[in-house]
C-alpha cells in the first residue's frame, strides 16, 4: 500500500476520537518504529481520521497517540 492510498477516504472511516464523520485523514509516524512492531529499517505508518470538531481540539494529538498505542488500527508497514 502506498502513502497516497492511505490518505484516500475509505469505507467505514470514522473519527478516531468520537466516531463522528471524518473530515481529515492523518498519518501517524512514530519516532521509534521498532517499538511499534515495524521490522528494522521499515517505517510504521498508522492511518487515522478525525472529524472537524476533534481536529481543532488542542489536546487531540496527545489523545490520538494514546489511542493508536492501544489499538494500532489500520497500521501498515511501509516498505
Ligand atoms: Zn471527532
pLDDT in tens, 32-48: 767 767 777 777 788 89
Largest Cα separation within the chain, whole Å, is 37
- CA 43 / ligand 1 centre spacing (Å): 27
Q: What is the whole-number distance in angstroms between the Cα of residue 18 and the centre of ligand 1?
A: 4
- 6 alpha carbon – ligand 1 mean position (Å): 19
Cβ(65)–Cβ(28) below 8 Å: yes
Instruction: Mean pLDDT check: name the lowest of 29-38, 46-55, 64-73.
Output: 29-38
The answer to whether residue 73 scores a pLDDT higher than 50 is no
Q: What is the pLDDT of residue 1?
A: 63
- Nine-digit cell at 17? 476520537
Q: How many residues are recorded in the chain?
A: 79
Has residue 18 got a pLDDT over 80? yes
- Distance of CA 79 from the midpoint of ligand 1 (Å): 30
31 sits in the region (left: phi over 0; alpha: psi -120 to 50; else beta) called alpha
Tell me the domain boundaries of the chain.
3-78
Mean pLDDT for all residues in the chain? 83
What residues contact residue 38 under an 8 Å CB cut-off, 6+ apart? 44, 77
Residue 24: φ, ψ to 5°: -135, 150
Bigger pLDDT: 57 or 31?
A: 57
Strands (E) located in the chain: 24-28, 43-50, 75-78
What is the distance in A from the centroid of ligand 1 to the CA of 3? Answer: 23
Q: How far is the CA of 39 from the centre of ligand 1 (A)?
A: 32
Amino acid at each position: 500500500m502506498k502513502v497516497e492510498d492511505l490518505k484516500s477516504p475509505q469505507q467505514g472511516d470514522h473519527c478516531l476520537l468520537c466516531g463522528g464523520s471524518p473530515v481529515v485523514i492523518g498519518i501517524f509516524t512514530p519516532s521509534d518504529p521498532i517499538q511499534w512492531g515495524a521490522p528494522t529499517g521499515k517505517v510504521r505508518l498508522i492511518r487515522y481520521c478525525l472529524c472537524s470538531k476533534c481536529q481543532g481540539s488542542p489536546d487531540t494529538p496527545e489523545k490520538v497517540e494514546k489511542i493508536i498505542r492501544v489499538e494500532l488500527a489500520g497500521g501498515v508497514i511501509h516498505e
